[in-house]
Structure 1
Amino acid sequence: MAMAGVIAYGAAAVVTVADVLGRRIGLPIEGVVDLVQLFVVTGAWLAMPYAFMSAAHVSVDFLLALMPDSLAVALRLLAAALTLGLLALMLWQGFLTFQTRTMFGDKSQQLGIPVAWYWYPLLVGLAASMLGVLLELHQALKRTPDHE
């Protein structure tokens, strides 16, 4: 999934460069804004689960290293639980917005791409991110000391 996100970012770059070069010779790419927006949204939301699964997101680890293991694990569990709750809220509200936008048949401005195609990667990425957080939570629970 992350590779698809990287490919989408690459596609955004290629379309942008091709449009810039095409404009110099009078052949701009029609709908470049719609395409770049779709590729960037896809790239961001499909790459995000990888960040959760590999713990590559921003964290304040240097403080955790100074704490007793039991407190550090408890804080990691709390952070994972809060993150999971926020992602669940985002997925729920995102799905409700997706339903509303698709119910009215919204389309992109230049190419008329159905707006649903902008929402699919967001919803899939949020759901997969939740799985990534659950995996991180599972790892934190495995590290919990039995006795201290």
Structure 2
Amino acid sequence: MTVIPHEFPATPVARLSRRQLLIAIAVAVMVAAGVLFVVKQAMRPSALEYAYEVCKLSSSSGARLADAGSTLILDTQGEDDLTGMDYLDLYCVSAALDMPTSVMTQIEQTRAMDGRVSGTWDGLSASWSYHPDSGLDLMVTAE
């Protein structure tokens, strides 16, 4: 008796059509681009960190970053203070943060009797007070 080997049919290999392959590649590219965008956004400094760096501020100049870069605190020199930032630094910060003229004008015109004043723009909020003896105390917070 002769045994004839039985051939089994080859198992079908899953094959993607050209269209399915192009769609899969397009989806992979879009996912990779989305991940790259998120990573770049996470690594980008906040607007407040950018202003701090670009204006070359430091704690010794009367400026400090707080709350993981979401708060910038500025203290200008008053008549009785020996320390504090210069008003030119304040103008640098206002330009770096794209502060509207309306808010900067409010800051410039604040008097000691006005108490604490505030303003908002482009996802940032600022509050400040002024006294000739102690200068301007300004806090800018990212919302």
**Does the TM-score normalized on the shorter chain lie above 0.5?**
no
TM-score, with structure 2 as normaliser: 0.29
Instruction: Name whichever structure is richer in strand by fraction.
Output: 2
Higher relative contact order (CA 8 A, sep 6+): 1
